């Protein structure tokens, strides 16, 4: 019953957009011919204007189209679109505009944000080679991921200590009391591994993402992206 199939990106609507159009929802219309509309159909200009010819003299006072605008009973149970019908799956692509003009932020503001990110990427922070290495860190059970610069740390211990303080900052203590966690990472090949096995310097060059998993004391932690 849903009317027009919504185009999700700004690619121009395809001809099919009117195929699903169902004018049954609108009473007293007399626009049945619209149902058969397709962009490449044999539509004559005349049909459209003929139907509305009556209004030519009174258009200032009357609408150009009489439409009761009453919904059908069936329409009450709206079928919702899925929450996400397109995915942006790689955080490295995250900076690109996927939809023109969305989110609605003025270009100079975007430039300022971008400037900041690029600034951080370009400037090192003094740990030798210069370039920052940003990775996203997600902790199981915490909605908000964080971004950290691997160049800030010089050892696994340093990293894990920092992560503990970052993630327990806003959480209630008792949730994590007596819980044990393990740090996993996704390497260049896309595999998820437990952190700590390879030398630190190799680690920071291969790590793509970090995930802190809660240890179930009976079983081994599941390693995997979700």
Partner 1 sequence: MQKRLAYSLPDEVLEHVFSFIQSDKDRNAVSAVCKSWYEIERWCRRKIFVGNCYAVSPGMVIRRFPEVRSVELKGKPHFADFNLVPDGWGGYVLPWIAEMAGAYPWLEAIRLKRMVVTDESLELIAKSFKNFKVLVLSSCEGFSTDGLAAIAASCKNLRELDLRESDVDDLSGHWLSNFPETYTSMVSLNISCLGSDEVSISALERLVSRCPNLRSLRLNRAVPLDKIANILRLAPQLIEFGTGAYSAELRSDVFSNLAGAFSNCKELKSLSGFWDVVPDYLPAIYSVCSRLTSLNLSYATIQSPDLLKLVSHCPSLQRLLVLDYIEDSGLEALASNCKDLQELRVFPSDPFGVEPNASLTEQGLVAVSLGCPKLQSVLYFCRRMSNAALVTIAKNRPNLTRFRLCIIEPRTADYLTLEPFDIGFGAIVEHCKDLRRLSLSGLLTDLVFEYIGTYAKKLEMLSVAFAGDSDLGLHYVLSGCKSLRKLEIRDCPFGDKALLANASKLETMRSLWMSSCSVSYGACKLLGQKMPKLNAEVIDERGPPGSRPESCPVEKLYIYRSVAGPRFDMPPFVWTMNEDSTLRLS
Binders of partner 1 in range 47-106 (CB under 8 A):
48-49, 52, 55-56, 59-67, 69, 71, 75, 78, 80-85, 88, 91, 94-106
CB atoms within 10 A of CB 192: 16
| Least distance from partner 1 to the Cβ atom of residue 214, Å | 19
Residue 67, number of CB atoms within 10 A of its CB: 13
C-alpha 99/C-alpha 62 separation (Å) is 38
Least distance between partner 1 and beta carbon 10 (Å): 6
CA distance 34 to 14: 16
Closest CA to 64 of 72, 55, 73: 55
Q: Which of 108, 217, 218, 226 is close enough to bind partner 1 by CB under 8 A?
A: 108
The CA distance from 117 to 114, in Å, is 5
Q: Is 101 left (phi over 0), alpha (psi -120 to 50) or beta?
A: left
Site for partner 1 in 169-208 (CB under 8 A): 170
Near partner 1 by CB under 8 A: residue from 2, 54, 155, 201: 2
Q: Candidates 24-32, 121-129, 152-160, 185-193: pick the segment binding partner 1 (CB under 8 A).
A: 24-32
- List the one residue from 118, 121, 131, 147 that touches partner 1 (CB under 8 A): 147
If the CB atoms of residues 78 and 180 are measured against partner 1, the closer one turns out to be 78
Shortest Å distance, C-beta 105 to partner 1: 6
Indicate which single residue of 24, 27, 35, 41 sits in contact with partner 1 (rule: CB under 8 A): 41
- Asked whether 28 and 45 are in contact (CB, 8 A), the reply is no
Number of residues interacting with partner 1: please give it, by CB under 8 A: 81
- Please give the Cα distance from 216 to 180 (Å, whole number): 8
Enumerate helices (H) and strands (E) in the chain, giving the number of each: 5, 5
Taking the complex as a whole, the smallest distance from the CB of residue 79 to partner 1 amounts, in Å, to: 9
* Rounded least distance, CB 139 to partner 1, Å: 12
């Amino acid at each position: 019953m849903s009317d027009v199939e919504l185009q999700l990106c700004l690619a121009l609507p395809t001809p099919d957009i009117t195929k699903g159009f169902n004018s049954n929802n609108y009473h007293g219309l007399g626009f049945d011919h619209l149902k058969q509309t397709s962009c490449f159909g044999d539509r004559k200009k005349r049909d459209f204007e003929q139907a509305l010819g009556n209004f030519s003299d009174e258009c200032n006072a009357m609408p150009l189209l009489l439409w009761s605008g009453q919904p059908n009973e069936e329409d009450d149970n709206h079928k919702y679109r899925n929450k996400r019908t397109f995915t942006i799956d790689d955080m490295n692509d995250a900076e690109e505009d996927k939809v023109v003009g969305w989110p609605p932020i003025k270009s100079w503001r975007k430039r300022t944000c971008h400037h900041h990110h690029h600034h951080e990427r370009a400037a090192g922070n003094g740990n030798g080679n210069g370039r920052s290495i940003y990775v996203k860190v997600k902790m199981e059970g915490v909605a908000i991921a964080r971004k950290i610069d691997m160049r800030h740390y010089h050892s696994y211990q340093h990293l894990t200590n920092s992560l503990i303080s970052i993630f327990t900052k806003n959480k209630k203590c008792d949730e994590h009391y007596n819980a044990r966690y393990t740090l996993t990472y996704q390497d260049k090949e896309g595999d998820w591994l437990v952190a700590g096995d390879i030398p630190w310097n190799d680690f920071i060059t291969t790590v793509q993402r970090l995930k802190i998993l809660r240890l179930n004391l009976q079983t081994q932690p599941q390693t995997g992206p979700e």
